Amino acid sequence: MLSTIQPPRYLSRFPLRGRTKSRSFHILSSAQPVTKTCFAADKSQILSIRDSLLNRHLSAVELTHSYLDRLKQTEPHINCFLHVSDPDKVLKQAQDIDDKIKRNEEVGPLAGVLVAIKDNICTADMPSTGGSYILEGYRPPFDATAVKRLKDLGAIVVGKTNLDEFGMGSTTEASAFKVTANPWDLSRVPGGSSGGSAASVSARQCVVSLGSDTGGSVRQPASFCGVVGLKPTYGRVSRFGLMAYASSLDVIGCFGSSVADTGILLHAISGHDSLDATSSKREVPDFTSQFTYASSLKSRPLEGLRVGLIRETVDAGVDSGVKSAIEGAAAHLEQLGCVLKEVSLPSFSLGLPAYYILASSESSSNLSRYDGVRYGNQASSDELNVLYEESRAKGFGSEVKMRILMGTYALSAGYYDAYYKRAQQVRTIIRKSFKAALDENDILISPAAPSAAYKIGEKKNDPLAMYAGDIMTVNVNLAGLPALVLPCGFVEGGAVGLPVGLQIIGAAFDEWCELPAKFAKHKCLLNGFFERNL
Protein backbone atom coordinates (compact mmCIF):
# COMPACT_ATOMS: atom_id res chain seq x y z
CA MET A 1 0.00 0.00 0.00
CA LEU A 2 2.85 2.40 0.76
CA SER A 3 4.11 1.79 -2.75
CA THR A 4 0.97 3.41 -4.09
CA ILE A 5 1.56 6.91 -2.78
CA GLN A 6 3.62 9.82 -4.04
CA PRO A 7 5.04 11.85 -1.13
CA PRO A 8 3.46 15.31 -0.88
CA ARG A 9 5.29 18.56 -1.48
CA TYR A 10 3.88 21.20 0.81
CA LEU A 11 4.71 23.29 3.84
CA SER A 12 8.22 24.35 4.70
CA ARG A 13 10.80 22.10 6.27
CA PHE A 14 13.18 22.53 9.15
CA PRO A 15 15.11 25.75 9.86
CA LEU A 16 18.87 25.38 9.58
CA ARG A 17 21.60 27.54 10.96
CA GLY A 18 23.93 28.97 8.39
CA ARG A 19 22.75 27.06 5.32
CA THR A 20 19.26 28.29 4.60
CA LYS A 21 17.01 29.24 1.77
CA SER A 22 14.41 31.86 2.59
CA ARG A 23 10.96 30.42 2.82
CA SER A 24 8.22 31.40 5.24
CA PHE A 25 6.56 28.99 7.64
CA HIS A 26 3.40 29.89 9.47
CA ILE A 27 1.83 28.52 12.60
CA LEU A 28 -1.64 29.22 11.35
CA SER A 29 -3.99 30.86 13.79
CA SER A 30 -6.34 33.75 14.10
CA ALA A 31 -3.46 35.61 15.71
CA GLN A 32 -0.41 36.96 13.93
CA PRO A 33 1.46 33.98 12.39
CA VAL A 34 4.96 33.15 13.54
CA THR A 35 7.42 33.39 10.66
CA LYS A 36 10.71 31.53 10.35
CA THR A 37 13.42 31.22 7.72
CA CYS A 38 13.44 27.62 6.58
CA PHE A 39 15.37 25.17 4.50
CA ALA A 40 13.55 23.71 1.49
CA ALA A 41 14.26 20.03 2.08
CA ASP A 42 13.66 17.14 -0.27
CA LYS A 43 10.46 15.11 -0.12
CA SER A 44 11.93 12.70 2.39
CA GLN A 45 13.42 14.58 5.31
CA ILE A 46 15.05 11.39 6.61
CA LEU A 47 16.89 10.71 3.34
CA SER A 48 17.77 14.39 2.99
CA ILE A 49 19.24 14.47 6.50
CA ARG A 50 21.27 11.33 5.87
CA ASP A 51 22.62 12.67 2.59
CA SER A 52 23.55 16.00 4.19
CA LEU A 53 25.32 14.34 7.12
CA LEU A 54 27.30 11.82 5.09
CA ASN A 55 28.35 14.45 2.55
CA ARG A 56 29.42 16.81 5.36
CA HIS A 57 27.01 19.53 4.17
CA LEU A 58 25.48 19.66 7.60
CA SER A 59 26.40 18.40 11.04
CA ALA A 60 24.07 16.52 13.36
CA VAL A 61 24.74 19.16 16.03
CA GLU A 62 23.66 21.98 13.66
CA LEU A 63 20.54 20.08 12.71
CA THR A 64 19.67 19.29 16.31
CA HIS A 65 20.20 22.91 17.37
CA SER A 66 17.80 24.00 14.65
CA TYR A 67 15.05 21.64 15.73
CA LEU A 68 15.50 22.51 19.40
CA ASP A 69 15.32 26.21 18.55
CA ARG A 70 12.14 25.63 16.55
CA LEU A 71 10.64 23.58 19.37
CA LYS A 72 11.47 26.29 21.90
CA GLN A 73 9.89 28.92 19.65
CA THR A 74 6.66 27.07 18.88
CA GLU A 75 5.97 24.92 21.93
CA PRO A 76 4.49 27.70 24.11
CA HIS A 77 1.82 28.18 21.42
CA ILE A 78 1.06 24.55 20.59
CA ASN A 79 1.80 22.45 23.73
CA CYS A 80 2.74 19.25 21.90
CA PHE A 81 5.07 17.85 24.56
CA LEU A 82 4.59 16.60 28.10
CA HIS A 83 8.34 16.11 28.45
CA VAL A 84 11.22 17.44 26.37
CA SER A 85 14.57 15.65 26.49
CA ASP A 86 17.50 17.36 28.18
CA PRO A 87 19.03 19.53 25.39
CA ASP A 88 22.56 18.75 26.57
CA LYS A 89 21.88 15.04 26.32
CA VAL A 90 20.32 15.38 22.87
CA LEU A 91 23.25 17.47 21.63
CA LYS A 92 25.69 14.93 23.08
CA GLN A 93 24.02 12.20 21.01
CA ALA A 94 24.25 14.42 17.95
CA GLN A 95 27.94 15.10 18.62
CA ASP A 96 28.58 11.35 18.88
CA ILE A 97 27.09 10.94 15.41
CA ASP A 98 29.29 13.71 14.02
CA ASP A 99 32.36 12.12 15.60
CA LYS A 100 31.55 8.75 14.00
CA ILE A 101 31.14 10.37 10.60
CA LYS A 102 34.48 12.18 10.99
CA ARG A 103 36.12 8.84 11.74
CA ASN A 104 34.39 7.36 8.67
CA GLU A 105 32.53 4.90 10.88
CA GLU A 106 29.17 3.56 9.86
CA VAL A 107 26.12 5.28 11.32
CA GLY A 108 22.57 3.97 11.42
CA PRO A 109 20.00 4.85 8.75
CA LEU A 110 18.18 7.11 11.23
CA ALA A 111 21.29 8.87 12.52
CA GLY A 112 20.49 12.46 13.45
CA VAL A 113 16.73 12.04 12.95
CA LEU A 114 14.79 13.61 15.82
CA VAL A 115 11.78 11.51 16.81
CA ALA A 116 8.93 12.36 19.18
CA ILE A 117 7.25 9.53 21.10
CA LYS A 118 3.66 9.47 22.31
CA ASP A 119 3.63 9.38 26.10
CA ASN A 120 1.82 6.04 26.34
CA ILE A 121 4.88 4.36 24.78
CA CYS A 122 7.48 3.51 27.42
CA THR A 123 10.90 5.14 27.49
CA ALA A 124 13.53 4.23 30.06
CA ASP A 125 15.23 7.61 30.37
CA MET A 126 12.24 9.95 30.65
CA PRO A 127 8.72 9.97 32.12
CA SER A 128 5.92 7.91 30.57
CA THR A 129 2.62 9.06 32.00
CA GLY A 130 0.00 8.00 29.48
CA GLY A 131 -1.38 11.51 29.90
CA SER A 132 -2.77 10.51 33.31
CA TYR A 133 -2.28 11.82 36.85
CA ILE A 134 -2.19 8.25 38.09
CA LEU A 135 1.19 7.78 36.36
CA GLU A 136 2.53 11.29 36.93
CA GLY A 137 6.30 11.06 37.33
CA TYR A 138 6.48 7.38 36.38
CA ARG A 139 9.74 6.36 34.67
CA PRO A 140 9.71 2.84 33.19
CA PRO A 141 12.84 0.70 33.63
CA PHE A 142 12.81 -0.24 29.93
CA ASP A 143 12.20 1.06 26.41
CA ALA A 144 9.29 -0.14 24.31
CA THR A 145 10.52 -2.40 21.52
CA ALA A 146 9.63 0.22 18.88
CA VAL A 147 11.64 2.88 20.75
CA LYS A 148 14.60 0.56 21.25
CA ARG A 149 14.69 -0.24 17.54
CA LEU A 150 14.69 3.46 16.64
CA LYS A 151 17.52 4.18 19.05
CA ASP A 152 19.52 1.22 17.72
CA LEU A 153 19.31 2.78 14.24
CA GLY A 154 20.63 6.14 15.46
CA ALA A 155 17.41 8.09 16.03
CA ILE A 156 17.38 10.74 18.75
CA VAL A 157 14.27 10.94 20.96
CA VAL A 158 13.43 14.62 21.41
CA GLY A 159 10.58 14.15 23.88
CA LYS A 160 7.23 12.63 24.85
CA THR A 161 4.06 14.02 23.28
CA ASN A 162 0.69 14.88 24.74
CA LEU A 163 -2.32 12.60 24.34
CA ASP A 164 -5.80 11.91 25.55
CA GLU A 165 -5.47 10.01 28.83
CA PHE A 166 -4.44 6.41 28.03
CA GLY A 167 -5.42 7.08 24.42
CA MET A 168 -9.11 7.55 25.23
CA GLY A 169 -10.32 10.52 23.22
CA SER A 170 -10.41 12.20 19.83
CA THR A 171 -9.16 15.72 20.56
CA THR A 172 -6.22 15.52 23.04
CA GLU A 173 -8.39 17.61 25.38
CA ALA A 174 -8.72 14.62 27.74
CA SER A 175 -5.06 14.84 28.75
CA ALA A 176 -4.62 15.34 32.48
CA PHE A 177 -1.91 17.94 31.93
CA LYS A 178 -2.57 20.30 29.02
CA VAL A 179 -4.51 20.90 25.81
CA THR A 180 -2.58 20.73 22.53
CA ALA A 181 -3.46 23.17 19.73
CA ASN A 182 -3.58 22.58 15.99
CA PRO A 183 -0.60 24.28 14.23
CA TRP A 184 -2.91 25.34 11.38
CA ASP A 185 -5.21 27.22 13.75
CA LEU A 186 -4.40 27.53 17.43
CA SER A 187 -8.08 27.77 18.34
CA ARG A 188 -8.71 24.23 17.04
CA VAL A 189 -7.89 20.72 18.22
CA PRO A 190 -5.16 18.63 16.56
CA GLY A 191 -7.29 15.49 16.82
CA GLY A 192 -6.63 12.59 19.13
CA SER A 193 -5.54 10.68 20.87
CA SER A 194 -2.13 11.13 19.21
CA GLY A 195 -2.66 14.87 18.79
CA GLY A 196 0.70 15.81 20.27
CA SER A 197 2.60 13.51 17.91
CA ALA A 198 0.73 14.76 14.83
CA ALA A 199 1.06 18.42 15.78
CA SER A 200 4.78 18.10 16.53
CA VAL A 201 5.45 16.87 12.97
CA SER A 202 3.10 19.46 11.46
CA ALA A 203 4.87 22.26 13.36
CA ARG A 204 8.30 20.87 12.36
CA GLN A 205 9.36 20.34 15.97
CA CYS A 206 10.73 16.94 15.00
CA VAL A 207 11.28 14.94 11.82
CA VAL A 208 8.88 12.05 12.52
CA SER A 209 6.94 10.73 15.48
CA LEU A 210 5.30 7.63 16.89
CA GLY A 211 1.68 7.46 17.98
CA SER A 212 -0.77 4.72 18.80
CA ASP A 213 -3.99 3.85 16.98
CA THR A 214 -6.83 1.98 18.68
CA GLY A 215 -9.75 3.35 16.67
CA GLY A 216 -8.20 6.07 14.49
CA SER A 217 -5.85 7.84 16.88
CA VAL A 218 -3.10 8.17 14.26
CA ARG A 219 -5.23 8.72 11.17
CA GLN A 220 -7.67 11.35 12.44
CA PRO A 221 -4.92 13.63 13.87
CA ALA A 222 -2.96 13.21 10.63
CA SER A 223 -6.00 14.49 8.74
CA PHE A 224 -6.56 17.41 11.13
CA CYS A 225 -2.88 18.45 11.15
CA GLY A 226 -2.10 17.97 7.44
CA VAL A 227 0.56 15.27 7.82
CA VAL A 228 0.92 11.65 6.74
CA GLY A 229 -0.28 9.06 9.26
CA LEU A 230 0.08 5.30 8.97
CA LYS A 231 -1.73 2.62 10.95
CA PRO A 232 0.00 -0.70 10.25
CA THR A 233 -1.61 -4.13 10.18
CA TYR A 234 -2.30 -5.50 13.66
CA GLY A 235 0.78 -7.55 14.55
CA ARG A 236 3.18 -5.80 12.17
CA VAL A 237 4.73 -3.77 15.02
CA SER A 238 5.41 -5.04 18.53
CA ARG A 239 3.13 -3.67 21.22
CA PHE A 240 5.64 -4.39 24.00
CA GLY A 241 5.98 -1.17 25.98
CA LEU A 242 2.73 0.33 24.70
CA MET A 243 0.37 1.00 27.61
CA ALA A 244 -2.59 -1.25 26.90
CA TYR A 245 -5.96 0.35 26.21
CA ALA A 246 -7.73 -2.28 24.07
CA SER A 247 -5.25 -5.06 23.41
CA SER A 248 -6.98 -6.56 20.37
CA LEU A 249 -7.12 -3.17 18.65
CA ASP A 250 -4.01 -1.22 19.73
CA VAL A 251 -1.17 -0.65 17.26
CA ILE A 252 1.84 1.68 17.21
CA GLY A 253 1.71 3.96 14.16
CA CYS A 254 3.85 6.51 12.36
CA PHE A 255 3.67 10.21 11.49
CA GLY A 256 5.79 12.01 8.90
CA SER A 257 5.65 14.87 6.45
CA SER A 258 5.90 12.43 3.52
CA VAL A 259 4.94 8.87 2.74
CA ALA A 260 8.61 8.04 2.26
CA ASP A 261 9.39 9.08 5.83
CA THR A 262 6.50 7.08 7.30
CA GLY A 263 7.62 4.07 5.26
CA ILE A 264 11.18 4.35 6.53
CA LEU A 265 9.93 4.74 10.10
CA LEU A 266 7.59 1.75 9.79
CA HIS A 267 10.41 -0.40 8.40
CA ALA A 268 12.56 0.55 11.40
CA ILE A 269 10.02 -0.53 14.04
CA SER A 270 8.43 -3.55 12.33
CA GLY A 271 9.17 -7.21 12.89
CA HIS A 272 8.55 -10.09 15.27
CA ASP A 273 9.27 -9.57 18.94
CA SER A 274 9.46 -12.46 21.39
CA LEU A 275 8.18 -10.09 24.08
CA ASP A 276 4.85 -9.67 22.26
CA ALA A 277 2.93 -12.86 21.49
CA THR A 278 0.70 -10.98 19.03
CA SER A 279 3.55 -9.73 16.83
CA SER A 280 3.71 -11.37 13.43
CA LYS A 281 6.61 -13.54 12.28
CA ARG A 282 6.14 -12.43 8.68
CA GLU A 283 9.21 -11.15 6.89
CA VAL A 284 9.48 -7.35 6.94
CA PRO A 285 9.94 -5.98 3.41
CA ASP A 286 11.53 -2.66 2.50
CA PHE A 287 8.47 -0.46 2.43
CA THR A 288 10.20 2.23 0.35
CA SER A 289 11.71 0.05 -2.36
CA GLN A 290 8.94 0.73 -4.87
CA PHE A 291 8.84 4.52 -4.64
CA THR A 292 9.15 6.25 -8.01
CA TYR A 293 8.98 9.98 -8.75
CA ALA A 294 6.20 11.41 -10.88
CA SER A 295 8.59 12.79 -13.48
CA SER A 296 9.54 9.26 -14.55
CA LEU A 297 5.98 8.09 -15.22
CA LYS A 298 3.66 8.22 -18.21
CA SER A 299 0.49 10.31 -18.27
CA ARG A 300 -1.85 7.53 -17.07
CA PRO A 301 0.32 5.49 -14.69
CA LEU A 302 -2.61 3.89 -12.87
CA GLU A 303 -4.21 2.23 -15.86
CA GLY A 304 -6.41 -0.58 -14.55
CA LEU A 305 -5.81 -0.05 -10.83
CA ARG A 306 -9.03 -0.90 -9.00
CA VAL A 307 -10.06 1.66 -6.40
CA GLY A 308 -13.20 1.35 -4.31
CA LEU A 309 -14.77 4.46 -2.79
CA ILE A 310 -16.73 3.37 0.29
CA ARG A 311 -20.23 4.71 -0.35
CA GLU A 312 -21.20 4.91 3.32
CA THR A 313 -18.32 7.34 4.04
CA VAL A 314 -19.58 10.08 1.70
CA ASP A 315 -23.25 9.92 2.65
CA ALA A 316 -25.13 12.29 4.93
CA GLY A 317 -23.20 13.46 7.98
CA VAL A 318 -20.00 14.29 6.11
CA ASP A 319 -19.18 17.99 5.76
CA SER A 320 -19.66 19.26 2.23
CA GLY A 321 -16.09 20.57 2.01
CA VAL A 322 -14.65 17.20 3.06
CA LYS A 323 -16.91 15.39 0.60
CA SER A 324 -15.82 17.70 -2.22
CA ALA A 325 -12.14 17.16 -1.44
CA ILE A 326 -12.53 13.37 -1.44
CA GLU A 327 -14.60 13.38 -4.62
CA GLY A 328 -12.02 15.63 -6.26
CA ALA A 329 -9.28 13.20 -5.26
CA ALA A 330 -11.30 10.27 -6.63
CA ALA A 331 -11.88 12.09 -9.92
CA HIS A 332 -8.18 12.75 -10.26
CA LEU A 333 -7.45 9.06 -9.71
CA GLU A 334 -9.72 8.31 -12.63
CA GLN A 335 -7.77 10.78 -14.76
CA LEU A 336 -4.62 8.84 -13.89
CA GLY A 337 -6.18 5.63 -15.17
CA CYS A 338 -7.80 4.07 -12.10
CA VAL A 339 -10.96 2.05 -12.41
CA LEU A 340 -13.02 3.76 -9.73
CA LYS A 341 -16.29 2.44 -8.42
CA GLU A 342 -18.41 2.85 -5.35
CA VAL A 343 -18.28 -0.01 -2.88
CA SER A 344 -21.02 -0.59 -0.35
CA LEU A 345 -20.17 -1.96 3.09
CA PRO A 346 -23.62 -2.37 4.68
CA SER A 347 -22.08 -3.22 8.05
CA PHE A 348 -20.02 -0.01 8.12
CA SER A 349 -22.38 1.87 10.45
CA LEU A 350 -22.32 -1.02 12.92
CA GLY A 351 -18.60 -0.57 13.52
CA LEU A 352 -18.86 2.46 15.80
CA PRO A 353 -21.09 0.93 18.54
CA ALA A 354 -19.26 -2.41 18.29
CA TYR A 355 -15.91 -0.66 18.65
CA TYR A 356 -16.89 1.28 21.76
CA ILE A 357 -18.29 -1.83 23.45
CA LEU A 358 -15.16 -3.88 22.70
CA ALA A 359 -12.65 -1.11 23.43
CA SER A 360 -14.37 -0.13 26.69
CA SER A 361 -14.61 -3.76 27.77
CA GLU A 362 -10.92 -4.38 27.17
CA SER A 363 -9.96 -1.10 28.84
CA SER A 364 -11.90 -1.99 31.99
CA SER A 365 -9.72 -5.08 32.27
CA ASN A 366 -6.42 -3.49 31.24
CA LEU A 367 -6.72 -0.49 33.53
CA SER A 368 -7.48 -2.60 36.60
CA ARG A 369 -3.71 -2.79 37.19
CA TYR A 370 -3.64 0.92 38.10
CA ASP A 371 -4.77 0.50 41.67
CA GLY A 372 -2.11 2.41 43.63
CA VAL A 373 -0.45 -0.86 44.70
CA ARG A 374 0.84 -2.59 41.58
CA TYR A 375 0.95 0.53 39.40
CA GLY A 376 0.06 4.15 39.82
CA ASN A 377 0.35 6.85 42.43
CA GLN A 378 -1.05 5.76 45.77
CA ALA A 379 -3.53 7.63 47.93
CA SER A 380 -3.10 7.52 51.71
CA SER A 381 -5.43 5.13 53.49
CA ASP A 382 -5.36 2.46 56.17
CA GLU A 383 -8.04 0.40 54.47
CA LEU A 384 -7.36 -1.45 51.20
CA ASN A 385 -10.65 -0.84 49.42
CA VAL A 386 -10.54 2.85 50.27
CA LEU A 387 -6.94 3.00 49.00
CA TYR A 388 -8.08 1.53 45.67
CA GLU A 389 -11.05 3.88 45.43
CA GLU A 390 -9.17 7.06 46.26
CA SER A 391 -6.14 6.22 44.12
CA ARG A 392 -8.34 5.70 41.09
CA ALA A 393 -10.70 8.58 41.87
CA LYS A 394 -7.80 11.05 42.05
CA GLY A 395 -5.70 9.44 39.31
CA PHE A 396 -8.19 8.82 36.51
CA GLY A 397 -9.94 11.53 34.51
CA SER A 398 -13.65 11.58 33.67
CA GLU A 399 -13.30 10.04 30.21
CA VAL A 400 -11.32 7.08 31.51
CA LYS A 401 -13.76 6.52 34.36
CA MET A 402 -16.70 6.58 31.96
CA ARG A 403 -15.12 4.00 29.64
CA ILE A 404 -14.20 1.72 32.53
CA LEU A 405 -17.80 1.84 33.74
CA MET A 406 -19.14 1.19 30.23
CA GLY A 407 -16.80 -1.77 29.79
CA THR A 408 -17.55 -3.24 33.21
CA TYR A 409 -21.27 -3.03 32.47
CA ALA A 410 -20.87 -4.72 29.06
CA LEU A 411 -18.92 -7.59 30.63
CA SER A 412 -21.18 -8.06 33.63
CA ALA A 413 -23.35 -11.12 34.19
CA GLY A 414 -26.60 -10.85 32.28
CA TYR A 415 -25.26 -8.36 29.75
CA TYR A 416 -22.20 -10.15 28.30
CA ASP A 417 -24.17 -11.91 25.54
CA ALA A 418 -26.26 -8.86 24.72
CA TYR A 419 -23.30 -6.50 24.34
CA TYR A 420 -19.78 -7.95 24.26
CA LYS A 421 -20.60 -11.20 22.46
CA ARG A 422 -22.78 -9.43 19.91
CA ALA A 423 -20.07 -6.83 19.29
CA GLN A 424 -17.61 -9.64 18.54
CA GLN A 425 -20.10 -11.07 16.05
CA VAL A 426 -20.36 -7.68 14.37
CA ARG A 427 -16.56 -7.56 14.23
CA THR A 428 -16.52 -10.83 12.30
CA ILE A 429 -19.08 -9.45 9.83
CA ILE A 430 -16.96 -6.31 9.32
CA ARG A 431 -13.83 -8.37 8.66
CA LYS A 432 -15.66 -10.44 6.05
CA SER A 433 -17.10 -7.36 4.34
CA PHE A 434 -13.67 -5.74 4.05
CA LYS A 435 -12.16 -8.96 2.71
CA ALA A 436 -14.86 -9.21 0.05
CA ALA A 437 -14.35 -5.58 -0.96
CA LEU A 438 -10.56 -5.93 -1.11
CA ASP A 439 -10.84 -9.13 -3.16
CA GLU A 440 -12.50 -7.01 -5.85
CA ASN A 441 -10.44 -3.83 -5.39
CA ASP A 442 -6.74 -3.12 -4.92
CA ILE A 443 -7.39 -0.38 -2.36
CA LEU A 444 -10.37 1.26 -0.69
CA ILE A 445 -10.61 5.00 -0.08
CA SER A 446 -12.64 7.21 2.24
CA PRO A 447 -12.35 10.42 4.23
CA ALA A 448 -10.26 10.08 7.38
CA ALA A 449 -12.83 12.08 9.36
CA PRO A 450 -16.27 13.51 8.60
CA SER A 451 -15.02 17.06 9.20
CA ALA A 452 -11.88 19.13 9.44
CA ALA A 453 -10.50 20.11 12.85
CA TYR A 454 -13.09 21.61 15.17
CA LYS A 455 -12.76 24.28 17.79
CA ILE A 456 -11.21 23.54 21.17
CA GLY A 457 -14.06 22.84 23.58
CA GLU A 458 -16.62 22.41 20.80
CA LYS A 459 -17.29 18.71 21.49
CA LYS A 460 -15.71 18.19 24.89
CA ASN A 461 -19.07 18.12 26.67
CA ASP A 462 -20.83 16.07 24.00
CA PRO A 463 -19.17 12.62 24.07
CA LEU A 464 -21.60 11.07 21.58
CA ALA A 465 -20.78 13.72 18.98
CA MET A 466 -17.07 13.18 19.64
CA TYR A 467 -17.40 9.41 19.30
CA ALA A 468 -19.28 9.86 16.00
CA GLY A 469 -16.15 11.53 14.60
CA ASP A 470 -14.42 8.12 14.71
CA ILE A 471 -16.89 6.51 12.30
CA MET A 472 -14.44 6.59 9.35
CA THR A 473 -11.61 4.84 11.17
CA VAL A 474 -12.83 2.32 13.76
CA ASN A 475 -13.83 -0.35 11.23
CA VAL A 476 -10.23 -0.63 10.06
CA ASN A 477 -9.08 -1.47 13.61
CA LEU A 478 -11.86 -4.01 14.05
CA ALA A 479 -10.69 -5.71 10.85
CA GLY A 480 -6.98 -5.39 11.76
CA LEU A 481 -6.10 -3.81 8.39
CA PRO A 482 -3.44 -1.23 7.46
CA ALA A 483 -4.51 2.27 6.48
CA LEU A 484 -2.68 5.36 5.34
CA VAL A 485 -3.92 8.94 5.66
CA LEU A 486 -2.45 11.79 3.68
CA PRO A 487 -3.49 15.33 2.81
CA CYS A 488 -5.78 15.71 -0.19
CA GLY A 489 -7.07 19.27 0.05
CA PHE A 490 -8.38 22.03 2.26
CA VAL A 491 -11.68 23.38 3.53
CA GLU A 492 -12.48 26.84 4.79
CA GLY A 493 -11.33 27.70 8.29
CA GLY A 494 -8.44 29.30 10.10
CA ALA A 495 -6.19 31.79 8.30
CA VAL A 496 -5.67 29.88 5.05
CA GLY A 497 -7.87 26.80 5.37
CA LEU A 498 -7.85 23.50 7.24
CA PRO A 499 -6.38 20.23 5.90
CA VAL A 500 -8.48 17.27 4.81
CA GLY A 501 -7.09 13.73 4.84
CA LEU A 502 -7.73 10.88 2.42
CA GLN A 503 -7.76 7.41 4.01
CA ILE A 504 -6.41 4.54 1.90
CA ILE A 505 -7.11 1.03 3.17
CA GLY A 506 -5.27 -2.10 2.08
CA ALA A 507 -5.44 -5.81 2.75
CA ALA A 508 -3.72 -7.26 5.81
CA PHE A 509 0.09 -6.95 5.69
CA ASP A 510 -0.28 -5.06 2.42
CA GLU A 511 1.68 -1.99 3.53
CA TRP A 512 4.08 -3.15 0.84
CA CYS A 513 3.14 -5.48 -1.97
CA GLU A 514 4.47 -6.91 -5.19
CA LEU A 515 2.56 -5.11 -7.91
CA PRO A 516 1.19 -6.90 -10.96
CA ALA A 517 3.48 -6.97 -13.98
CA LYS A 518 1.46 -4.29 -15.77
CA PHE A 519 2.45 -1.81 -13.02
CA ALA A 520 6.11 -2.83 -12.92
CA LYS A 521 7.28 0.43 -14.49
CA HIS A 522 4.74 2.58 -12.72
CA LYS A 523 5.11 1.66 -9.11
CA CYS A 524 4.17 4.93 -7.48
CA LEU A 525 0.45 4.70 -8.06
CA LEU A 526 -0.79 8.14 -7.05
CA ASN A 527 1.80 10.26 -8.89
CA GLY A 528 0.80 13.84 -9.51
CA PHE A 529 -1.97 13.64 -6.94
CA PHE A 530 -0.67 16.31 -4.60
CA GLU A 531 0.39 18.74 -7.29
CA ARG A 532 -3.30 19.05 -8.07
CA ASN A 533 -4.78 19.02 -4.59
CA LEU A 534 -2.35 21.06 -2.51
- Name residue 443's beta-bridge partners: 307
DSSP letters of 184-219? TBTTB---SSSHHHHHHHHTTSSSEEEEEESSSTTH
Coil vs helix vs strand at 363: helix
308-329 as b/e: b if 16+ CB within 10 A: bbbebbbeeebeebbbebbeeb
Report d(CA 133, CA 149) in Å as an integer: 28
CA dihedral 477, 482, 488, 494 (to 10 degrees): 40
Report d(CA 113, CA 104) in Å as an integer: 19
Query: Cα–Cα–Cα angle for 374, 379, 380, nearest 5°?
Result: 115
Secondary structure string (H, E, C) spanning 144-157:
CHHHHHHHHCCCEE
Contact between 464 and 471 (Cβ < 8 Å):
no
List, by residue number, the catalytic residues. 118, 193, 217
DSSP one-letter code for 237: B
Cα 251 off chain centre by? 10
Report d(CA 423, CA 354) in Å as an integer: 5
The one-letter amino acid at 268:
A
Report d(CA 496, CA 29) in Å as an integer: 9
